[in-house]
Amino acid sequence: MYKKLIAALLKRGLQALIVALIVGLVSFAMMQALPGDAAFRIAAGRYGYDLMDAAAAEAVRQELGLDRHWSLQLFDWLKALAQFNLGESFIYRGSVSEKIAVQLGHTLTLSLSALFVSILIAFPIGIYTGLNPNGWADKFFLQLSIFVRAIPPFAVGLTLVLIFSVHLKLFPVAGFRSFHHLILPAFTLGIGMAAVSNRVIRDSVLEAMHSDWQLFSRIKGLPSGLTLRAHVLRNAALPSVTYIGVQMAYLIEGVVIIETLFAWPGIGHALIHAIFGRDIAMVQGTALTLGLIYVGLNLVIDFLCSFIDPRSAKS
């Protein structure tokens, strides 16, 4: 068991290292490829467009070393990264790590809330349709899932805003001041995730209900409720939990869009502002954090699968 744990940690650690290098290189290259003078955009972000001039841009260029060759700039970032230092923001002049630490808390709050919403919606629907396949409910939720999944996350968010904020006035449009500000962005992400995961749960339950061991447990005389709770749902949970790990990619992608739409102060919102402001250090640090979150979540999913099915820990 301990060997399995150590092997999983080493595997994910190597994966995290590869992700860090790829994300850093790609984000740096994309920022370098953007048109225009980065020094002017950074100076505008620091002093405002009214106070920004050529002299201010040149001062920023000299201060940050933007006139140096791109390979030297990249080498400095990789050297700092090897020391677990993400550098300082080009615009706000504060530590990138400290700013991300604050924003990460908001992002995790939104992500976990969206995951909870997804589970709250998907599991009851998936279990019911799996126990009653090809019925009217199964066909209805299949069509509904296809329709919802085809809609982009920002369109779902705008629809919820129009209904629950503009017309019904039940929730605020955007911002971050109370629990009510969390509901619409969490449901925007959660609904999109549940649209697919409920079908995965449905298929898992259906497969478990038609398995030989389920039939054997019924032949032994076990009550249907006990069979469902102790055997069917546990075996159906394994592929469902595994698929949640796949959905993390959708969640990370959606966080960037939804945080911007709802002005949620997370790392996705910060990433968009950093790109527009040409804050290269902030872009690299934020993108790196998103990539490492994905690696970490997959590690958690691996351990959950081992807990649900102990046989996987021995393989």
Q: Which domains are present in the chain?
A: 97-278+289-314 (1.10.3720.10)
Q: Does position 71 have pLDDT exceeding 80, yes or no?
A: yes
**DSSP 8-state class, residue 88:** B
Query: In this predicted structure, what is the pLDDT of residue 299?
Result: 78
- pLDDT > 90 in the chain, percent: 14
* 88-92-95 Cα angle (round to 5): 30
Give the pair of three-digit tokens for residue 208.
Answer: 């478990």
pLDDT in tens, 262-309: 988 888 888 888 888 888 889 988 888 888 887 887 777 777 767 666
Query: In this predicted structure, what is the pLDDT of residue 136?
Result: 92
**Residue 264 near residue 185 (C-beta atoms within 8 A):** yes
Query: In this predicted structure, what is the pLDDT of residue 213?
Result: 61
Q: Does position 120 have pLDDT exceeding 80, yes or no?
A: yes
Give the pair of three-digit tokens for residue 314.
Answer: 């021995």
Q: Residue 131: which residues within 8 A CB-CB, separation 6 or more?
A: 205, 209, 228
Q: How far is CA 50 from CA 62, 91, 113, 277, in A?
A: 21, 16, 40, 15
Looking at residue 90, its amino acid is F
Q: Residue 247: which residues within 8 A CB-CB, separation 6 or more?
A: 118, 193, 196, 197
Q: Does position 144 have pLDDT exceeding 90, yes or no?
A: yes
Q: Is residue 231 very low, low, confident or very high in pLDDT (cuts 50, 70, 90)? A: low
Q: Does position 255 have pLDDT exceeding 90, yes or no?
A: no
Per-residue burial over 244-280, b = 16 or more CB atoms within 10 Å of its CB, e = otherwise: bbebbebbbebbbbbbbbbebbbbbbbbeebbebbbb
* CA neighbor of 248 nearest in space, from 195, 208, 296: 296
Query: In this predicted structure, what is the pLDDT of residue 185?
Result: 93
**Residue 114 near residue 120 (C-beta atoms within 8 A):** no
Mean pLDDT of 179-200: 90
**Residue 91 near residue 72 (C-beta atoms within 8 A):** no
- pLDDT > 70 in the chain, percent: 85
**Residue 270 near residue 283 (C-beta atoms within 8 A):** no
98-107, 114-123, 194-203, 295-304: range with lowest mean pLDDT: 295-304
Q: Which of 3-12, 16-25, 52-61, 114-123 has the highest mean pLDDT?
A: 114-123
Separation CA 114–CA 250 (nearest Å): 11
Enumerate the H helices of the chain as residue ranges.
2-33, 38-47, 54-64, 70-82, 96-131, 136-150, 153-160, 180-209, 212-219, 224-227, 233-261, 267-277, 280-308, 310-314
Give the pair of three-digit tokens for residue 51.
Answer: 């106070």
21-30, 61-70, 79-88, 249-258: range with lowest mean pLDDT: 249-258
Query: In this predicted structure, what is the pLDDT of residue 200?
Result: 87
Q: Does position 249 have pLDDT exceeding 60, yes or no?
A: yes
Task: Record the pTM.
Answer: 0.79
Mean pLDDT of 84-104: 87
Mean pLDDT of 119-148: 90
Q: Is residue 24 very low, low, confident or very high in pLDDT (cuts 50, 70, 90)? A: confident
* CA neighbor of 142 nearest in space, from 87, 95, 200, 91: 200
